Every structure is written in C-alpha cells, then in structure tokens.
C-alpha cells in the first residue's frame, strides 16, 4: 500500500445545513476538517442525529437541493464543493460510491438484480449484452460471497437481509469507485450477519484497495475495522485518533462516556448511559456543544467554543481541559 | 412471476358478491316504490291491454312467490341475460344495452388513451420542474380540468367548433357514407370494425366524430393523471432506492424512468383504473350533449317515460362495469408488483 | 371529564391550526377561501341584490323580451323566456349551497357511524357493514337519480336522495380505515377495561378521533357534490325546469346553444368556478395535513 502524502478525501471547514419551509438554515454539520488517506478506513462515530449521514451524503454528492454548504470538499485533489457550488455530479458514482444502511429499501423492488447491474454498467458507459452483464456481475457477486446463479434473476425481496446487503455491496463496488462511504452498513442486520458483513468489507477493501469511510453509532464495530476514528457530536468532530489510541487514551469527556456505554467481553462492569439528550440542530448551546452534559465542565466551556487541537501524533481533540 | 389463483379467485368472488348485492338492491328498490311492482315493471300501462301487461309482469317477476324466491329468480334472470323487455324500445333490455355499451366504451377508451398518456407525461414533467412557475401552472390546469363540469365543457366545445369550422354533425358515423361504402358493424366498436373491413373513409369519419367528445371525456383523466403522476413521482424520488441509484452514478434519465417512474406504476394503475370505471357515467353525459348513440342517449330518452326494466338494466350494467373494472385494476396492480405474493 | 375536555380542545385547535397554517402558506387555499366566501355571500344576499328577483325565482317577465345577449341592463343576458340570467344565478347560489350542505352532512353522519361501528365492533358486523359499504360505492349517483326519477318523477328529493345513497359509503370507508387504527390505541383499551359501555366509547373516543381526516375529506368533496348535483339537474332528472338551479339553468339553454350560447355557458362557468374553489380548499388542507407533501424541493441530480 502506497501511502500518499496527499489525502484522497479532504474537507476544509465544511458546514452543512438544511433549509426549512421558511428558508431558514438549520446547520447540522459545523466546521468539519477531514483528511483521509488512500487505503485507509476512517470511521465516523456519533449518536443519532448528530449529522453523520449528512456529512457522508456530502462526500457522495447526494445532498438534497435544499441543503446549504459552506467550505470545501476536495476528493482526489479535485475540488467538488466550494461554498454551495455543487459541480461534482458529472462524475458522481465513479469516484465515490455508497453502501446503504437499509439494503431492502435501497435495491429497486421491481427489478431483478441482473437488471440493476445492467443499469449500473450502462452508467459507466459500458454497453454490454445480457450475457456480458451476467458475466461481469457474477465475478463481483462471487467476490461478496453470493451465488450468482441464485441471485442474478431474483428480485430483492426474494433475498434475505444479509444477501441483500451483500448484493448492495456488490453494486457499490461494481461502480469502480475507489472510495466508498458506508452509512451504517450493518445496523439493519442481526449480530451474526453484522460480523460477516464487517469481515466482507475488510476483505473487499484489501482486495480492491478501497478507501472506506464507515459511519456508525457503534464503537465496537468501529474498533473492528477501522484505523482512525472521528467522534462526532452536534455536527462537529470533537475527537479524532487512531483506534487504539481512542480506546486506550480517550481525551474528550464525550468519548470517555461513550466508551463506558460499551460492553466489553469478559469484563463485568456497570454499563452507563450518558445523561441528558444530544442537542437538536438549531439548539446547539453556545460554547462547547457538550458542556450541558459534561461532568467536568468549567466556566470557559459555556462561553467559548474549543477548536480541534493536536495533542500528540495523530490524536486531535477539542476540549478546554486538554 | 407466479400469479397465485388464490388472490384472483378471492377478489373475483368478492366482486361477484358485490354485483349480486347490487342486483338485490335494484330489486328491492322496485319493491319499495309506491304502487304495485308489476304495474311499474309493465311501464304503468293504461287502456285495454293494461291487465294483460300487468299479469305478464307479475309472472315474469314471480310476484306470487315469496320475496326471497323472487329475488333469486331475478338474480338468475340477470345472470342469464334476461332483464326483461324495454317498454319504450320494445326490445330485450340486454340487446339494447349491449349496443349502447360498445358505443360508450369506444368513446371511453379513446378518451383514456389520450387523457392518461398526456396526463402522466405532464405530471412527471411537473414533478421534475417542481416549484417552478411551470409546475404551478400545470397544477392549476390539472385541478381546473378535474373540476370542470363535462356537460358544460362539451357545450363550449360544440359552440366553439360551430363558430370556427361550422361543424355541427355529431353522432357516431355519417349514415349516408356508411351505406354508400357498405359499412356493417361487426363488434360494435366502429373504429375497429372499419379497420377490419378496410373501410378507410368510414374510419376517418368515425375518428373525426369521436375526437371532440373524447377530448371532453379525457379532461378528467388528464387532470387526475397530472396530479397523481406528480405526487407519486415526488414520493418515489425520495425513496432510498433512488438515492442509492444516484449515488451509484445511474444517469438522470434512467433514474427518472427506470427507477422513479417504474415505482409508481402499480399505484397509477389502480388510481386510473378506478377513474376509468368512474368515467363511464361521464362519457354517458358527454354522449347526451353531443347527441351520440350510446348508453347515455339510451338513458336520456327514457327520462320521464317509466321504462323501468331498462332503468334497472342500466343501473345493473353501469354498476357491474364499475365493479369489474375495479377488480381487474386491483388484480393487475398486484401482478405488476413482484413483492405482492398473490 | 377534564381529560375529555382537554382532548376536545386539542382536536379543535388541530383543525384551527390546520386552517391558519394553510392560510399563511398556501395561495391555493386563500383562493379557495375567497371563492367559498363569495359563494356564501351570493347565497345569503342573492335574493336581495338580484336586480330582477321574481325572474330570478323563475317567473317570466310580463312582457317577454326573448333571449337577449349580455347588455348593461342584463350583464349576463336573458334566457329564452326573457328572464335575467344574473338574477337567476344569484338566487341559484343558495340552491347550490343548500344541496351541498344537506348531502354532505347527511352522508357524513351515516358514513361516520357505519364506518366506526364496523371498525370498532368487528366480527360479523364488520363484514356485513363493509359489504354494504362496498356495494354502495359502486353505484353512480346519476344512475340512481335516473331510477328514482322513473319512480317519483322530478324533484329536490331525487337529487338529495341519489347523492346521499351514493356518497355515504365513501365516508364510511375513510372512517373505517381511520377508526381501525384508533381501536388499538391505549386510551380506548383503558376505557374498555374501566367498563365503559361500548357505544359510549364509540361516541366519546373513537368518533372525535377520526373526525379530522373525514372532515377534510368532506370539504374536498363539496366540489364534487356540486358537480354531480349539477349534472343530475342538467339532465332533467332532479329539479324542475323553472327552478333557479345552476344545472337547470344550463339545461334551459341547451336547446339554443347555437343561437344563444350564453344561456348555458355563463351559469356553467359559475359551476366550474364554485367547484374549483371548493376542491382547492379541500386539496390544500389535505396537503397541509400530510407532512410528506409539505417539503419544498427541486430535482437536483
Ligand atoms: N433531508 C433532510 N432534510 C431536513 N433535515 C434533515 C434531513 N436529513 C437530516 N436532517 C436533519 O439533520 C440532522 C442530522 O441528520 P443525519 O441524518 O445527518 O443524522 P445521523 O447522525 O445520520 O443520524 P442517524 O444515526 O439517526 O442516522 C437531524 O436532526 C435531521 O433531522
Ligand atoms: Mg444516518
């Protein structure tokens, strides 16, 4: 694996908001700076509603038109978004691909898998006949551990949840994109399938040299696959570090609390929940967004917002206490 | 995809039950009316033959038997196509109605071919241009069309055509032309018949005469098509599968037609099927205004004439048509959607 | 009792809120309100502001002027018997509203009752009532009017009865669908456990809860009822020839469409605008109720 000094995905002060019926903007992602290197697996972790999917959608280029963006997104060195100028859609799907959260809904219910592959190949400009599509799709389906003869002529509802997700992964890969955003790829599956799919993602990533951006609310999953984790809270990345570092030496109080909610095999301990609720967009408190729920808050926290600072190596955190 | 007989059978049996309900209701209607049912059924006769006519009606309806038996007899008669003899036309009701039904159906089908195709196209266009001035304009047009009284539109069109082109000849076909070219109806659908016989002059004549009323009948499916297609497309465009297709780089046109539009087809089938059944009455009214033969003119000529067998026949026919079309639309809708295990 | 009251208030606030939100945001709704209010205004004041009231009620003038095209004295012209069409239209507005009001309110009452009873009692009752509902949904009003006409001759009763016979089933269906989802709700179960008689639960808990969607549907339907009533009257199945009803007015001009087209066309335009206004009212309310339809966006890909 060649480690480029240039990141393949980079965002600068990226903020995203949604317009409501009265044309007010509700910011849900605020000032995010990401630098993701080629071949890396980066994981975005956070509670529900903190803006993970919004960030992911921005990277894929499928934000709805009533979304408002500020800042820059640069992918493979090419600037695709700069202050609400979406100029990316021409190559959408060829550079960044997408693994959906709920494959049952993401595959078209009225088309067989074969037909859906055909449309994907057409989109890449490949003019293949039915046999050509079947051959090409079979190779990818086998890669994701599906039996092409069984799957190709089925409708999505005839497949089980795990098979649907494998088919969706196959489609995501078949676009030829080298960067894949997976938005909670396992949250609609049961525990056993979850592990299988995670394993599959790892395998694909290694075989095809893919840069994977995983979105999840589950720290355990994040630890299984990823190299670096960004912890998101109220639209901001509040801590970012390699996996081991996060688990061994969490710096942000939110990360620490989050870790205490994770069950660890073989260790009997009291599982905690984080008191209070995450703020909703538009109700972000002034200063540090976490301070109303933070057990260690100081006066400064409610007045000034901390910025993401490097504490060592690849470990960044935004907290006044560090 | 296997169409399980189970669903089809269930749906059909239910439709049959409802049709039987309609027939029973029609009979009870006659029974509850003030006066002797036989007297009404015989067309309120006067004079020397009155007694005989009433006695005939009594026998035909089985009025000497208990009510349940009468009803069963009536149902049996209807299902065997024996709905009595029209007092006004002096012909079996089933024969007259069949003749009228083909004429009205021809009008209705042409109207729906125009209205649905145009309406759905405009509706999709409207959804794609959502919240633009064009979209708003189309929506206003659609709601106006869906609410315009068809008899008034028909009068307006007749007046306009008369002033602009001087054309006032309506009806299904120019009788002189038909006789001159030896046109003979086979199926009762004149467009089809003239094509089968290769009679192009009559075909053109029939087409020219059917177009104005068809345009009026088409206004309802046109308005409905615009509104429904727009709403349904807007819904499927928000579906996860459309989002995924976009993210995987599928082309805009493919996303719209192969993903979003395809997702709306079952619902569209059902809604437009319902509208088709509903529009039969609309077509009848338009026929009356244009002076075309058909179920409408049949009904119009017997208003105030107490031709009760024909009235009941019409009621059962129109209602049964509604039920049958609806059932077919439901079955069709289920067949299109592969998720529905029939 | 207090819980009862607070829920009632909440429901009413629901409808009021719906109206005020729709008024603020939807030009279509505002247009509908303006048209509906104009109609109401015409219906109430029509007999007083009509320039020739007796002609409006259908009595031909002493010296017949014959059919005249629109002129300053007769802005909409006169019909074949010389009656002022404007006066007839003004007085006809009341007739239109009257028919709509009777038909919608009676069928609404029947439909609500049948639908909610079917949903709440379940079992055989549900099956039978649904069967009736479905059967009556198949009848078109105009055909029923034809049958009633051949039994009783022309009259107001024919219009009202035929429309009620055919409309109630649609409300029954909507009420049934909505009531079925309320049946499983917690407070209904609680009320059942507390031993309240079933019919009281029905009236106190189920009916109030399903009325908002059904009422919005009823508002939407007023336009269609007007159209169907006008068709029945136009065909000569309902109100008699001299009645000041818009459908009848169009019928009056039907024999003269080539020579005096305004006799038919002008009253018909009023039917169109009134029906349009009423359904715009209902449609925009329905869209306002359904959050999925509320989002504003454009196609972006
Ligand atoms: N299409 C949209 N239009 C308007 N608001 C939206 C839209 N999508 C998301 N939001 C709002 O933005 C906020 C962030 O949503 P987002 O989906 O990014 O959160 P998330 O972290 O992915 O949550 P989850 O774990 O539930 O998926 C939420 O408050 C949500 O209500
Ligand atoms: Mg999400």
pLDDT tens, position by position, C242-299: 888 888 888 888 888 888 888 888 888 999 999 999 988 888 888 777 655 445 444 5
pLDDT tens, position by position, A193-251: 888 888 898 888 888 889 999 998 888 777 878 889 999 998 899 999 998 888 888 88
**Closest residue to atom 24 of ligand 1, CA basis:** A48
b/e sequence A238-275, b meaning 16+ C-beta within 10 Å: bbbbebebbbeebbbbbbebbeeeeeeeeeeeeeeebe
- Helix C85-121 and helix C207-234, axial crossing angle in degrees, nearest 10: 140
What number of other Cβ atoms are within 10 A of residue B91's Cβ?
Answer: 12
Supply the pLDDT for residue A89: 59
Phi then psi for residue A124, to 5 deg, are -85, 5
Supply the pLDDT for residue A84: 62
What number of other Cβ atoms are within 10 A of residue A27's Cβ?
Answer: 19
Q: In chain A, what residues touch C297 (CB-CB under 8 Å)?
A: 64-66
pLDDT band for B87, please (50, 70, 90 cuts): confident
- Residue A51, ligand 1, Cβ within 6 A: yes
pLDDT band for A270, please (50, 70, 90 cuts): low
pLDDT band for C1, please (50, 70, 90 cuts): very low
Supply the pLDDT for residue C7: 40
Supply the pLDDT for residue C6: 39
Residue A263: is its pLDDT beyond 80?
no
Residue B43: is its pLDDT beyond 80?
no
Edge-to-edge strands of the sheet including A41-46?
Answer: A96-99, A179-183, A211-216, A41-46, A228-233, A236-242, A315-317, A309-312
Asked if A67 reaches chain B (Cβ–Cβ under 8 Å), the answer is no
pLDDT tens, position by position, B274-328: 999 989 999 999 999 998 888 998 889 888 777 888 888 898 999 999 999 999 9
The rounded percent of chain C whose pLDDT value lies above 70 is: 85
Rounded Cα distance between A32 and A42, Å, is: 14
Nearest chain B Cα distance for residue A92, angstroms:
5
Mutation for C interface: B31, B33, B125, B147, most C CBs within 10 A: B147
Rounded Cα distance between C109 and B315, Å, is: 26
Q: Which chains touch C (3 or more CB pairs under 8 A)?
A: A, B
Residue A42: is its pLDDT beyond 80?
yes
Q: In chain C, what residues touch A21 (CB-CB under 8 Å)?
A: 25, 294-296
Answer with the residue of higher pLDDT: B249 or B122: B122
pLDDT tens, position by position, A179-194: 999 998 888 788 888 8
What number of other Cβ atoms are within 10 A of residue B211's Cβ?
Answer: 14
Reduce the DSSP state of residue A13 to 3 states and report it: strand
Supply the pLDDT for residue B2: 45
Mutation for C interface: A19, A64, A81, most C CBs within 10 A: A64
Q: Which ligand does the CA of A67 lie closest to?
A: 1
Vertex A209: Cα angle to A204 and A213 (nearest 5) = 75
Supply the pLDDT for residue C11: 43
Ligand 1 probe mutation, A18, A47, A233, A258, most atoms within 8 A of CB? A18
| Lowest-pLDDT choice from B103-117, B163-177, C94-108, C132-146 | B163-177
Helix (H) or strand (E) holding A310: strand A309-312
Q: Which ligand does the CA of A54 lie closest to?
A: 1
Asked if C140 reaches chain B (Cβ–Cβ under 8 Å), the answer is yes
Q: C298–B311: do the CB atoms touch at under 8 Å?
A: no
Burial bucket for residue C291 (CB in 10 Å: 0-12, 13-18, 19+): exposed
**Over residues B66-88, mean pLDDT:** 82
Mean pLDDT, chain A, rounded, equals 85
Phi then psi for residue A311, to 5 deg, are -105, -40
Residue B96 near residue B89 (C-beta atoms within 8 A): yes
Answer with the residue of higher pLDDT: B182 or C280: C280
Q: In chain A, what residues touch C298 (CB-CB under 8 Å)?
A: 65-66
What number of other Cβ atoms are within 10 A of residue C165's Cβ?
Answer: 20
Instruction: Give every CB contact of residue B127 below 8 A, 6+ residues apart in sequence.
Output: B135, B229, B230, B231, B233, B234, B237, C299
Burial bucket for residue A68 (CB in 10 Å: 0-12, 13-18, 19+): middle
**Closest residue to atom 14 of ligand 1, CA basis:** A51
ipTM, two decimals: 0.87
DSSP state of B92: B
Residue B59: alpha-carbon gap to chain centroid:
34
Mean pLDDT, chain B, rounded, equals 85
Asked if C166 reaches chain B (Cβ–Cβ under 8 Å), the answer is no
Domains of chain A: 7-95+178-190+214-317 (3.40.50.300)
Q: In chain A, what residues touch C301 (CB-CB under 8 Å)?
A: 62, 89, 92
The rounded percent of chain C whose pLDDT value lies above 90 is: 14
**Over residues B115-137, mean pLDDT:** 89
Asked if C69 reaches chain B (Cβ–Cβ under 8 Å), the answer is no
Residue A271: is its pLDDT beyond 80?
no
Supply the pLDDT for residue A88: 56
Helix residue spans in chain B (DSSP H): 5-32, 37-41, 50-61, 67-79, 93-128, 133-147, 150-165, 175-180, 190-196, 200-237, 240-247, 252-254, 262-290, 295-301, 308-336
pLDDT band for A274, please (50, 70, 90 cuts): confident
Q: What's the Cα-to-Cα distance from C143 to each of B94, C178, C224, C250, rounded to whole Å?
A: 17, 30, 16, 20
Asked if A182 reaches chain B (Cβ–Cβ under 8 Å), the answer is no
Nearest chain C Cα distance for residue A20, angstroms:
8
- Residue A50, ligand 1, Cβ within 6 A: yes
**Closest residue to atom 3 of ligand 1, CA basis:** A18
Distance A101 CA to ligand 2 centre (A): 8
Q: Which chains touch B (3 or more CB pairs under 8 A)?
A: A, C
pLDDT tens, position by position, C140-163: 899 999 888 888 888 888 899 999
pLDDT band for A5, please (50, 70, 90 cuts): low
How many CB pairs lie under 8 A apart between chains A and C? 19
């Amino acid at each position: 694996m060649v480690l480029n000094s240039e990141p393949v995905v980079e965002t600068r002060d990226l903020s995203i908001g949604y317009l409501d019926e009265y044309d007010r903007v509700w910011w849900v992602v605020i000032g995010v700076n990401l630098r993701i290197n080629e071949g890396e697996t980066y994981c975005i972790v956070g509670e529900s509603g903190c803006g993970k999917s919004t960030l992911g959608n921005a990277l894929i280029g499928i934000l709805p038109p009533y979304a408002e963006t500020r800042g820059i997104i640069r992918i493979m060195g090419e600037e695709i978004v700069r202050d609400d100028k979406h100029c990316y859609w021409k190559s959408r799907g060829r550079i960044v691909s997408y693994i959906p959260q709920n494959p049952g809904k993401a595959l078209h219910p009225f088309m067989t898998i074969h037909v859906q592959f055909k449309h994907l190949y057409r989109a890449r400009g490949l003019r293949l006949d039915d046999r050509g599509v079947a051959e090409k799709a079979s190779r990818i389906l086998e890669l994701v551990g599906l039996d092409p003869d069984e799957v190709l002529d089925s409708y999505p509802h005839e497949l089980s949840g795990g098979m649907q997700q494998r088919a969706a992964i196959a489609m995501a890969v078949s676009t030829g994109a080298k960067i894949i955003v997976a938005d909670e790829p396992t949250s609609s599956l049961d525990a056993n399938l979850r592990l299988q799919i995670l394993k599959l993602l790892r395998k694909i990533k290694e075989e095809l040299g893919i840069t994977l951006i995983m979105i999840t609310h589950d720290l355990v999953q994040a630890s299984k696959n990823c190299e670096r984790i960004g912890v998101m809270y109220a639209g901001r990345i509040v801590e970012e570090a390699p996996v081991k570092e996060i688990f061994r030496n969490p710096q942000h109080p939110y990360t620490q609390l989050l870790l205490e909610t994770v069950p660890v095999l073989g260790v009997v301990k009291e599982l905690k929940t984080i008191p209070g609720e995450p703020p909703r967009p538009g109700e972000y408190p002034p200063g540090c967004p976490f301070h109303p729920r933070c057990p260690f808050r100081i006066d400064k926290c409610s007045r000034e917002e901390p910025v993401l600072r490097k504490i060592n190596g690849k470990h960044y955190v935004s907290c006044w206490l560090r | 995809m296997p169409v399980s007989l189970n669903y089809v059978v269930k749906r059909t049996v239910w439709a049959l039950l409802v049709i039987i309900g309609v027939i029973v209701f029609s009979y009870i209607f006659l029974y509850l009316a003030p006066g002797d049912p036989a007297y009404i059924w015989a067309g309120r006769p006067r004079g020397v033959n009155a007694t005989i006519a009433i006695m005939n009606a009594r026998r035909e309806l089985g009025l000497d038997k208990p009510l349940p038996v009468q009803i069963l007899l009536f149902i049996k008669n209807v299902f065997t196509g024996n709905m009595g003899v029209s007092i006004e036309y002096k012909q079996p009701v089933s024969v007259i109605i069949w003749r009228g039904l083909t004429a009205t159906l021809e009008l209705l089908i042409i109207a729906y071919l125009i209205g649905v195709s145009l309406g759905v196209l405009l509706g999709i266009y409207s959804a794609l241009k959502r919240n633009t001035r064009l979209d708003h304009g189309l929506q206003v047009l659609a709601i106006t069309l869906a609410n315009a009284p068809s008899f008034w539109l028909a009068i307006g069109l007749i007046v306009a055509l008369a002033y602009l082109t001087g054309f006032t000849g309506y009806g299904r076909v120019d009788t002189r032309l038909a006789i001159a070219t030896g046109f003979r109806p086979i199926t009762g659908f004149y467009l089809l018949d003239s094509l089968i016989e290769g009679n192009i002059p009559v075909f053109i004549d029939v087409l020219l005469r059917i177009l104005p009323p068809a345009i009026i009948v088409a206004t309802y499916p046109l308005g409905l098509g615009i509104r429904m297609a727009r709403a349904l497309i807007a819904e499927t465009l928000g579906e996860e599968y459309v989002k995924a297709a976009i993210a995987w780089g599928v082309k805009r046109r493919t996303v719209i037609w192969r993903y979003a539009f395809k997702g709306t087809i079952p619902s569209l089938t059902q809604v437009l099927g319902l509208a088709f059944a509903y529009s039969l009455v609309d077509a009848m009214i338009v026929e009356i205004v244009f002076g075309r033969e058909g179920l409408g003119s049949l009904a119009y000529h017997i208003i105030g004439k107490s031709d009760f067998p024909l009235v009941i026949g019409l009621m059962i026919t129109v209602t049964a048509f509604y039920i049958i079309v609806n059932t077919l639309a439901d079955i069709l809708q289920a067949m299109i959607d592969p998720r529905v295990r029939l | 009792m207090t819980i009862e009251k607070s829920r009632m208030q909440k429901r009413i606030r629901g409808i009021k809120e719906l109206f005020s939100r729709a008024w603020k945001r939807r030009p279509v709704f505002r247009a509908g309100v303006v048209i509906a209010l104009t109609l109401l205004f015409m219906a109430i004041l029509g007999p007083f502001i009509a320039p020739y009231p007796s002609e409006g009620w259908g009595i031909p003038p002493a010296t017949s002027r014959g059919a005249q095209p629109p002129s300053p004295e007769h802005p909409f012209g006169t019909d074949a018997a010389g009656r002022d069409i404007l006066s007839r239209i003004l007085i006809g507005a009341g007739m239109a509203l009257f028919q709509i009001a009777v038909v919608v309110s009676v069928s609404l009452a029947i439909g609500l009752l049948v639908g909610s009873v079917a949903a709440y009692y379940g079992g055989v009752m549900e099956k039978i009532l649904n069967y009736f509902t479905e059967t009556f949904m198949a009848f078109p009003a105009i055909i029923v009017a034809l049958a009633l006409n051949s039994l009783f001759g022309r009259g107001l009763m024919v219009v009202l009865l035929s429309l009620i016979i055919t409309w109630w089933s649609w409300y029954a269906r909507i009420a049934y669908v909505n009531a079925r989802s309320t049946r499983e709700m917690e407070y209904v179960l609680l009320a059942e456990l507390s031993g309240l008689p079933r019919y009281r639960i029905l009236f106190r808990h189920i009916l109030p809860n399903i009325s908002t969607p059904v009422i919005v549907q009823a508002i939407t339907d007023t336009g269609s009822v007007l159209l169907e009533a006008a068709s029945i009257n136009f065909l000569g199945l309902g109100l008699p020839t001299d009645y000041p009803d818009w459908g009848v007015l169009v019928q009056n001009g039907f024999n003269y469409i080539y020579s005096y087209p305004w006799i038919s066309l002008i009253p018909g335009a009023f039917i169109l605008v009134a029906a349009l206004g009423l359904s715009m009212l209902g449609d925009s309310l329905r869209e306002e109720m359904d959050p999925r339809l509320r989002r504003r966006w454009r196609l972006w890909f």
